[in-house]
């Protein structure tokens, strides 16, 4: 009897064949490159820099850039888990730099406003005397 015409033999071999194909497919899939995370991190660094992070939070900006550079190296080496982790860390560092920059900018604006109010008050006092 031929194996291809024996239904019992086909049923017995089919699960083993499917299991083997599943193992091979899973082994080939591996970890996907973190292209989306890299794009998010790059955008975060650019945003932080535009917000004044380089001047207001230089340490955080330097860390963000260094981690992003290391993430790019890891991507090229196909070390995707490392690249993903470094890119996330770079994004967080960049977000911190952006927040510090925006906070510093707001603080400076508030100080300027207070100074303007004080000058106007002094001017009013002078005119009322």
In tens, the pLDDT along 16-66 reads: 555 655 555 444 456 899 999 999 999 999 999 999 999 999 999 999 999
Q: What is the DSSP string of 28-58?
A: HH-PPP-HHHHHHHHHHHHHHHHTTHHHH-H
- The pLDDT value given to residue 9: 47
Q: Which one is predicted more confidently, 19 or 128?
A: 128
77-87 per-position pLDDT tens digit = 999 999 999 99
Provide CATH code, domain 34-128.
1.20.1270.390
Q: Note the pTM of the prediction, 2 decimals.
A: 0.68
Domain boundaries, the chain: 34-128
């Amino acid at each position: 009897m031929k194996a291809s015409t024996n239904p019992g033999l086909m049923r017995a071999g089919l699960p083993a064949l499917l299991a083997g194909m599943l193992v091979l497919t899973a082994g080939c899939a591996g970890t996907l490159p973190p292209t989306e995370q890299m794009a998010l991190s790059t955008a975060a660094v650019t945003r932080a820099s535009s917000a004044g992070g380089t001047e207001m939070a230089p340490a955080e900006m330097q860390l963000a850039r260094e981690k992003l550079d290391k993430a790019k190296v890891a991507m090229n080496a196909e070390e995707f888990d490392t690249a993903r982790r470094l890119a996330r860390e770079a994004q967080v560092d960049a977000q911190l730099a952006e927040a510090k920059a925006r906070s510093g900018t707001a603080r400076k604006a508030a100080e300027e406003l207070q100074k303007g109010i004080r000058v106007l008050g002094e001017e009013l006092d002078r005119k009322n005397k």
